[in-house]
Amino acid sequence: MSNVKGKVVVITGASSGIGEAVARLLSQHGAHVIIGARRVERLEELASSIRSEGGSVEYQPLDVTRLEEMQAIVDRARNHYGHVDVIINNAGVMPLSPLGALKIDEWNRMIDVNIRGVLHGIAAGLPIMKQQGFGQFINIASIGAYVVSPTAAVYCATKYAVRAISEGLRQEVGGDIRVTLVSPGVTESELADTISDEEARDLMKEYRNISIPASAIAQSILYAINQPAEVDVNEIVVRPTASIA
């Protein structure tokens, strides 16, 4: 039996990669997906593709670093459907570089999108979920939330933070609200396109050869949502079989 059909699911960073795959899969299983990201033309294309397959989708421009935009997309979901079942805090950036390169703007961008963006998703959704007495946050971390490697110190720090925030949230709101952390290993997406450091970019090309499709991560999210309300899947790590890190 599907526990996904009819659920109202807000997905951040749905214009490519994992977010896009999740929107497609959940809508195929009967969820109402509300998708956000900054590249609106990509959202538009995705929405019309989902609709052409009979899926239910709304889209809205979203910069997760702006609390008011995060609030607006969550409010839109609630106003349209009367409640919000799931918020997937997926938007993220990964401009890797050695700390010595002092790419301070990129450090700040990772902190803003990867940490503040998740906190904004929680801030926008938690009061609604508390009021309605149910809900689920799915926060996308990374295997970088468990291990650190050169050029990835700040990125990993942001993902360790997402893991800590998710565990803290779970302890505080468990009972009514479910909290799931999904940590992908290397996955096909546009994530590595944000790397401006040449050395880090070359390293990544090699590292990403074994990438698994974004649909593999989407399947794990479907699994977590699909469980009965009293079952809270807290952490899932999905990595390529060939991965050693």
Does position 142 interact with ligand NDP (CB under 6 A)? The reply is: yes
Q: Closest separation between CB of residue 190 and ligand NDP, Å?
A: 4
Shortest distance, position 3 Cβ to ligand NDP, whole Å: 24
In the complex, the smallest distance separating the C-beta of residue 230 from ligand NDP, rounded to whole angstroms, is: 28
Contacts of 45 (CB under 8 A, 6+ apart): none
Q: Does 16 bind ligand NDP (CB under 6 A)?
A: yes
Q: Where are the alpha helices (DSSP H) in the chain?
A: 17-28, 40-52, 67-81, 104-110, 117-132, 153-173, 198-207, 214-226
Max Cα–Cα distance, the chain, nearest Å: 52
Q: Which residues within the stretch 200-239 sit at the binding site for ligand NDP (CB under 6 A)?
A: none
Contact between 92 and ligand NDP per CB under 6 A: yes
Q: Does 13 bind ligand NDP (CB under 6 A)?
A: yes
Cβ proximity to ligand NDP, 35 vs 177, nearer residue: 35
**Rounded to an integer, what distance in angstroms lies between the CA atom of residue 136 and that of residue 162?**
15
Catalytic position from the list 59, 155, 160, 223: 155
Residues 6+ apart with CB under 8 A from 78: 8, 84, 128
Binding pattern for the stretch 50-79 against ligand NDP, x by CB under 6 A and - elsewhere: ------------xxxx--------------
Return the active site residues: 155
